[in-house]
Amino acid sequence: MQTTGKAIKPSVSKVIVIGGGIGGLTLAHACIDAGISVELYEKRQLDAMLHGPGGIFIQRNAMRVYKILCSGKIYKRFYEQGGKILKGGFFSKNGTPLYINSPQFVGEEDLGVCLLRPELQQILYETLPSGTVRTSIAFKDFEEAGDSVRVYFSDGTTAVGDVLVGADGLYSKVRARLNGKERLEEPLYSGTCCWRGYFDGENIPLDKQYSWMEIWGRGNRFGYFDVGGGRFSFYAFNNSKPGGSDDTVEDSLAALRLIFSDYAEPVPSIIAALDDASIYRDDIFDRQPKSGEWGRGRVTLIGDAAHPVQPNLGQGGCMAVEDAFELAKLFVGSVSNDQVPSLLRQFESNRSPRVTRVFTTSRQVGQLGQTDSVIGCFLRNWIYKLTPTWLADLQFQWLFDYQPSWKK
Ligand SMILES: Cc1cc2nc3c(=O)[nH]c(=O)nc-3n(C[C@H](O)[C@H](O)[C@H](O)COP(=O)(O)OP(=O)(O)OC[C@H]3O[C@@H](n4cnc5c(N)ncnc54)[C@H](O)[C@@H]3O)c2cc1C
C-alpha cells in the first residue's frame, strides 16, 4: 500500500534529525511521507556527506521500506543503479563452497540491492525536497521546554521541534548529551580491522553464478559483491590490534597481498586490480544495545547512534532504515502532542529485541568467520559443509520476515 502524508493526520508537526547518514536521510523521507515537517542537520559539508567507502548491502527487509517511501522512487533508483543480491555464499580459502543461499529461501526474486555508498547517499539526498538537509552544522546540545525541544548548534544557531532524533552514528553526540556527557565512551573493539573499496569486474575470473562471495581463511576473510554497472565492492577482515596501520608494510595493497597470499582465485586477481588510493581501512566496533529504552523525554536515537553492530550480517544500515520507518509510523494518527515521550519509549522497546538479536547474531557470525586456530577452522568448515542448506537458511529467515506498513 502506498500512503502519503496527505492521507494521514500526524501527532507531531516538526521533527529535528541530527545526522545525514542512511538512518537520518531515510527518517527525513518517512517524516515527509507521514505529513510531518522535518529539518535534518549534518555536521559535514555536502560533498563529504555524499561520500563513503566501498559498497553496502540494502537487504530485502530494508528494501520493503523503500518500496513504500517516496512513492517507490528510491526503490526504483536503487535497482537502476545497484546490483541485485542473488545467489551467493561462504567458501573456504581454497574455493570449496561451505554454504550457498539464494533468494528463493524467502520466496523472493532477489534479496535486495548492493550499492556503492556515495551512490546510495546521493539517491537518498536527491529525492528529498531541497532545503530539508542543512549541512556544515554540528549538533551541540538540547534542552527540553514543555511541549518542545530546543536544539543548539556549534555555529550558535538554534532550532525548535516536537521531537529530536539522534541519527549521528557510532560516536553520537546526541547520545552523549542524553547521558549528560560531552563525549560518548569508546565503543567495543571487535578484534578485527576491515579494508573496503571497489573494482571493475572486467578481466577478473569471477564465478558469474554468484552475485556475492565471502571466503574464509584463518583469522581473516575476503568478500566481494556486485554493485551494478560491472563494478564490485570488496571487503577484507583480519584479526588485529586496535589502531593498526598499513605503514609498516608500505601500504594497504601490500598488506592485502601479504594476508591473502594463500587464497585461491578470484582473490589474487581482485587484489591485483585494486588501486591503493581507493582502499579505506578502519577498525570494527559495536556497542552492547540497551535493553528497553535508550532515549529520554522528546529525544530518541536511531541506527548506529542507538545500536551499532558488527558488519557481519550486512544489517547495521538496514536496521537504521527499519528504525526510521517504525519511528515515523508512531507519530501518525490521532494521538496528542503530550503523548510524544511515551510514543518514543514505545518505539525504543518495540525495536530493542530485534536490534539486540542482530547485534548478537552478527557477533556470532564474526567469531566463526574470524576463527584462527587450525582445528577451529577445520570444524567450522566441516560443520557448514555438512549442514543442509534449508537448515542453514533458517538461521537468517527471521531477518527477512519484516513487513513494514503504515497500518497500525
Ligand atoms: C565495514 C562495514 C561494512 C558494512 N556493511 C553494511 C552492509 O552491507 N549493510 C548494512 O546495512 N550495513 C552495513 N554496515 C553498517 C552501516 O554502515 C551502518 O550501520 C550505517 O551506516 C549506520 O547509519 P547511521 O545513519 O545510523 O549512521 P552514520 O552512517 O554513521 O551517519 C551519521 C551521520 O551523522 C553525522 N554526525 C555525527 N555527529 C554529528 C553532529 N554532532 N552534528 C551533526 N551531524 C553529525 C555524521 O557526519 C554522519 O553523516 C557496515 C559497516 C561497516 C563498518
Query: Which residues, 6+ apart, have CB-to-CB distance to 401 below 8 Å?
Result: 61
3-state SS string over 259-291?
A: HCCCCCCCHHHHHHHCCHHHCEEEEEEECCCCC
Q: What is the pLDDT of residue 182?
A: 96
- CA pair distance 165, 28, nearest whole angstrom: 10
List pLDDT tens digits, range 126-140.
999 999 999 999 999
CA 316 to centroid of ligand 1, rounded, Å: 8
- Mean pLDDT within 263-271: 98
- CA pair distance 209, 71, nearest whole angstrom: 33
- CA pair distance 186, 184, nearest whole angstrom: 6
Q: Which atom of ligand 1 is nearest to the CA of 20?
A: 49
pTM above 0.85, yes or no: yes
- CA pair distance 228, 135, nearest whole angstrom: 29
Size (the chain), residues: 408
CA 171 to centroid of ligand 1, rounded, Å: 10
- Per domain, the residue ranges of the chain are 5-82+117-186+286-370
List pLDDT tens digits, range 54-68.
999 999 999 999 999
The residues pairing with 389 across neighbouring beta strands, listed in sequence order, are: none
Please give the share of the chain, as a percent, with pLDDT higher than 70: 97
E strands along 203-333, which residues? 212-216, 220-228, 231-239, 280-286, 299-301
Q: What is the pLDDT of residue 210?
A: 97
CA 182 to centroid of ligand 1, rounded, Å: 20
**Ligand 1 residue neighbourhood (C-beta within 6 Å):** 18-24, 41-44, 49, 56-57, 138-139, 167-169, 173, 194, 196, 235, 284, 303-305, 311, 314-318, 320
Q: Which three cell numbers stand for residue 308?
A: 551499532
Q: Average per-residue pLDDT in the chain?
A: 95
- Cα separation of the two ends of the chain: 13
Say which residue, 267 or 396, is predicted with more confidence.
Answer: 267
The residues pairing with 154 across neighbouring beta strands, listed in sequence order, are: none
- CA pair distance 351, 321, nearest whole angstrom: 12
Q: Given pLDDT bands bounded at 50, 70 and 90, which one contains residue 1? A: very low
CA 21 to centroid of ligand 1, rounded, Å: 6
Query: Which residues, 6+ apart, have CB-to-CB distance to 68 below 8 Å?
Result: 1, 2, 3, 33, 325, 404, 405, 406
Longest C-alpha distance within the chain, in Å?
63
Q: Do the beta carbons of residue 331 and residue 36 sit within 8 Å?
A: yes
Identity of the residue numbered 230: G
Q: What is the pLDDT of residue 146?
A: 86
- Ligand 1: residue of 22, 117, 177 to mutate (most ligand atoms within 8 A of CB) is 22
List pLDDT tens digits, range 343-402.
999 999 999 999 999 999 999 999 999 999 999 999 999 999 999 999 988 888 999 999
- Ligand 1: residue of 39, 134, 151, 304 to mutate (most ligand atoms within 8 A of CB) is 304
CA 321 to centroid of ligand 1, rounded, Å: 11
Q: What is the pLDDT of residue 41?
A: 98
Please give the share of the chain, as a percent, with pLDDT higher than 90: 89
CA 169 to centroid of ligand 1, rounded, Å: 5
- CA pair distance 311, 59, nearest whole angstrom: 13
Please choose, from the candidates 88, 325, 48, 327, the residue with its C-alpha nearest in 3D space to the C-alpha of residue 208.
88
CA 320 to centroid of ligand 1, rounded, Å: 9
Identity of the residue numbered 43: K
Q: Under CATH, which number does the domain 5-82+117-186+286-370 receive?
A: 3.50.50.60
